[in-house]
Amino acid sequence: MVNELICLLPAAAAALLFGGIYVYKMRKYKKSLRRLSGEMDRILHGSGELVLGSYEEGEISILRDEIYKMTVRLREQSETLTEDKEALADSLADISHQIRTPLTTLNLMTARMMQEGDDPEQRKRILREMNRMLERIEWLITALLKISKLDAGAICLEPADISMEGFLKKVMEPFEIQMDLRDQRCRIEGAEGMTFTADEAWTLEAVRNVVKNSLEYTPDGKALEISCVNNPLYTEISVCDSGPGIDPEDLPHLFDRFYKGKNAGSSSFGIGLALAQSIMSRQNGVIRAENRKEGGSRFRIRFYKQTI
């Protein structure tokens, strides 16, 4: 019996040793979990620092790394959402301001119309002005809806091969009467036989906004110049006017929403160029503005053939 007990002693000692190591490991494991839990609680309840302590190699260390990655991503998403909310608030304030101006004018015209009595000519003049204000509001709301759809990714662009010559004719159609009244002309160079790939309907919207802006600064009796270039890297439509040019302080902000340059007219909302840039950026394109040495401004509308 004594011999048997002596033989069992090493096994018992080993069991006690391994048992002690297991208990020690489990206590250390639980201590690490409590520590990690405390650090997560600190981060989740307002700590500005994303700092997790270091742990020995093993499952806790792997868990710590994965939690850290998730926490960083959640923090980035939270910051993005905060920025989006601030941008939305700013946009709503800008939209409210932009719409309030023509609405105030409409209210004043309505009151004036009621005071004019039965003068038919005066009523017609006021009605024409009121109609113009309503068209401005309609255009602004439509443009803002288009930008919102582009930002939300709700627009499915359908690129196709487009004839440049036919495309530019469509671009200029809405401006023919306006140009005729102001004795303006349009010279187009380099479009013959050229094709490019884009969504035609949305690209018409973008290029027309650029042309509209350039025509506003083209003096009566002068010409708008449109030239086209095609090479292995890109296809470019260049729109040039002979106006006063762009103030250097305005150039960096020209495509910002609701930004109105120093030479902008009273009817400008500062949204057309922003919409054009938004459309182009979603089909591997870009718009750049610059002043020409000979005077006036130039808008380069560029469609890249490879992803940039």
Beta-strand pair 297-304/234-240: antiparallel
In this prediction, residue 302 carries a pLDDT of 94
Per-residue model confidence as pLDDT tens digits over 251-279: 888 888 777 766 665 556 678 888 899 89
Contact (Cβ atoms closer than 8 angstroms) between residue 271 and residue 208: no
In this prediction, residue 157 carries a pLDDT of 84
Beta-strand pair 223-230/234-240: antiparallel
Closest CA to 31 of 57, 55, 58, 67: 55
Mean pLDDT along residues 156-180: 91
DSSP SS3 for 36: helix
Which of these ranges, 4-8, 105-109, 269-273, has the smallest mean pLDDT?
4-8
Beta-strand pair 223-230/185-189: parallel
List Cα–Cα distances, 308 to 203, 231, 255, in angstroms: 18, 15, 19
Mean pLDDT along residues 22-49: 65
Which parts of the chain are beta strand (E)?
Answer: 160-163, 185-189, 195-198, 223-230, 234-240, 285-291, 297-304
In this prediction, residue 29 carries a pLDDT of 65
In this structure, how many other beta carbons lie within 10 angstroms of the beta carbon of residue 203? 25
Mean pLDDT along residues 88-109: 72
User: Which residues sit opposite 297 in a β-bridge?
Assistant: 291
Contact (Cβ atoms closer than 8 angstroms) between residue 287 and residue 300: yes
75/81 Cα distance (integer angstroms): 10
Considering only residues 68 and 271, tell me which one the structure prediction assigns the higher pLDDT.
Answer: 271
180/188 Cα distance (integer angstroms): 17
- The two counts, helices (H) then strands (E), for the chain are 7, 7
108/268 Cα distance (integer angstroms): 20
Which among 32-36, 147-151, 232-236 has the top mean pLDDT? Answer: 232-236
Per-residue model confidence as pLDDT tens digits over 181-217: 899 999 999 999 999 999 999 999 999 999 998 998 8
Mean pLDDT along residues 162-173: 93
In this prediction, residue 194 carries a pLDDT of 93
Considering only residues 157 and 237, tell me which one the structure prediction assigns the higher pLDDT.
Answer: 237
163/187 Cα distance (integer angstroms): 17
Angle formed by the axes of helices 164-172 and 200-216, to 10°? 50
210/137 Cα distance (integer angstroms): 20
In this structure, how many other beta carbons lie within 10 angstroms of the beta carbon of residue 207? 25
Average pLDDT value over all residues in the chain: 79
To the nearest whole percent, how much of the chain has pLDDT over 90? 26
Per-residue pLDDT band at 13 (split at 50, 70, 90): low
Displacement of CA 213 from its chain's centroid (Å): 20
Per-residue pLDDT band at 136 (split at 50, 70, 90): confident
- φ, ψ (nearest 5 deg) of residue 153: 70, 25
In this prediction, residue 28 carries a pLDDT of 67
Sign of CA dihedral 12, 14, 20, 25: negative
Contact (Cβ atoms closer than 8 angstroms) between residue 244 and residue 308: no
